[in-house]
Structure 1
Amino acid sequence: MTEKDFSIEQSESSILLSMPMFNGVDSYNLQAVIDDLKSYWKLDVSDVNGDAKTATMSIDGVLVALASMPAPIPAKDIEDIAPHNYLWKNAEEDCRNHQSHAIVTVLSSKNVAILERYKMLTKLNASILRTSGAIGIYQGTQTLLLPKDLYLDFANFLLEEELPIQLWVYIGLIGSQDGSSVYTFGLKDFQKREIEVLDSKLEKMDLYDFLLSIVNYVVAQDVVLQDGETIGFSAEQKIAIRVSEGRFLEGNTIKLEL
């Protein structure tokens, strides 16, 4: 088995995790979550086992698990990533007093594509947020902290057959005297190399929007960007693709030469 084969197999069979956070001793209501999955997302929920503390169920044939944890996420975990999460500017302050959280798990499956499993994770998180007093979602694997209202807004993209990439992949923004740089963190879960754009003369938000469009295309169309090729959104646009050692990430990354 080659290194590439191993990474793909590992990603396809790995579990997906997220942690809704609650102030006080609040938690989710299992039946309310199930009802919302059925009514809002029109999903088939079956084989429910367990109780409000720990439960498993099948959602459209995907096995998921919920667990209520009467303790906060360690403060250091929040503090390490909160300053970088510009989609939740007051995250550190808002999360400081949370006293409990849940663990949402979409379990391993070689029969369900990773994209579909991410959609399921998002719908389950959204149903918990919509039916409880949860304040937001922590996804440490992708270094993401996402507030409740924003998460629900992005999750609704799925109703329009669009992808809420912002809930799955962190896009880092870095400015310097040489220009603006952006990078992804989370594409590896979709069996793709992470992407960096270095020292661009574009404004930060223009660069962010550009990379978001590229990531959406790569994930939605299951595209593998290859060293030496070009990419663009028009016949005239030809952006060179290079693979080299990452500047902001470990290992090799895709570089888009803007």
Structure 2
Amino acid sequence: MGFFRKKSAEVDAAKSRRNLGLAMVTLDRARPLPEGALLAFLQDPPWELPRAKELRQEGDTLSFELDGAAVTLSLMRAPIPWGDLEGPARGAWHWPEATGKLKAHQAHVIVAVLAPGMDRISTMLLLTRVVAAVAATTDASGVYWGEGPVVNAPDDFIEEAKRTSRERLPLYLWLAFQLSRNPDGTFTLATSGMRSFGFMELELVAMREKPATLVDRAFNFAHYLLDHGPVLKDGDTIGLSAQERFRIRHVPSAADPTRTVYRIEL
């Protein structure tokens, strides 16, 4: 019986990890969390979430129940180690000031959402909204989405979060779209962060399209998978219009051959 209790505990722990969302907001300075403004932000349009319940303030930690999920906000009076931020900041083509802004931060807030009754996407949507509320009501200098990992400017994160819905997922906030230029002038794009949803990552290798077009294509393919599940089999074709067809291959990653990815080929 001990073995079965142990396995059951492992399964429960795995389920909890799937329903746990974590992100961090970097701060220019450490100040107490503005409880009233933060909770009011969540109840304003466009979300109009239910009123938070069971509020508890213990030192620098604020916790409450929101829409059936347990939310914890922990103010850390020290910066995030630069080793965690350096790579995402260097790769933030969408935010050229990332390195300078993030290097200067003095504190951060850890945002955790535990939602046993929600699926993974619903958990991440709720986490996005709470992170936006923290970014909007504090001295925020950046948002670090560790499961990407990807960083964003606070204003960009807030505006994107406001446009978010189940039909319009904020993948620019959740995923890193990593671009590299090849010696022959083509570009390769690889996502990072799909694994947190239980999917293989995407790679578009040696493409002659503009970087912005590649990012747009990767966004649409990733959104399709999150909408429909792992339906793209090795050898399938998919097109975003009647004029184009892309072949999907399940192959070792060009960057890390130990991992299998969705390779998208013309």
Does the TM-score normalized on the shorter chain lie above 0.5?
A: yes
What residue in structure 2 maps to residue 246 of structure 1? Answer: 253
The within-5 A match list for 1:118-129 is 118-129=124-135
User: Is 1:135 matched up with 2:141?
Assistant: yes
Q: 1:20 aligns with which of 25, 29, 39?
A: 25
Residue 140 of structure 2: SS of its match in structure 1?
Answer: coil
Change (3 A) 1:228 1:161: closer
Percent of paired sites with the same residue? 27
**Aligned residue in 2 for 1:93:** 100
C-alpha spacing 1:43/1:54, structure 2 compared with 1 (3 Å):
same
Task: Specify which of 28, 32, 39 is matched with residue 37 of structure 2.
Answer: 32
Q: State the distance in 1 between where 2:249 and 2:242 align.
A: 20
In the alignment, structure 1 residue 231 sits paired with structure 2 residue 247: no
Query: Aligned residue for 2:215?
Result: 208
Structure 2: how far apart are the matches of 1:27 and 1:118? 25
| 1:59 matched residue in structure 2 | 66
Match of 1:113 in 2: 119
Partner amino acid, structure 2, of 1:244 = V
**1:164-179 equivalence runs, <5 A:** 164-178=170-184, 179=186
RMSD: 2.1
| Distance of 2:55 and 2:180 partners within structure 1 | 45
For structure 1, the 5+ residue unaligned runs are 1-5
Unaligned runs of 5+ in 2: 1-10
Aligned length: 250
Asked if structure 1 preserves the Cα contact closer than 8 Å seen for 2:252 and 2:259, the reply is yes
Deviations 1:74-104 (A, max 9, x none): 1222223311111221111112221111100
Is contact 1:70-1:100 (8 Å) kept? yes
Change (3 A) 1:141 1:27: farther
Following superposition, the deviation at residue 50 of structure 1 comes to: 2.7
Q: When the two structures are superposed, what TM-score results if normalisation uses the length of structure 2?
A: 0.87
| Alpha-carbon distance in 2 for matches of 1:71, 1:99 | 6
Hey, what does 2:203 align to over in structure 1? 196
SS at match of 1:57: strand
Contact 1:175 1:204 in 2 (8 A): no
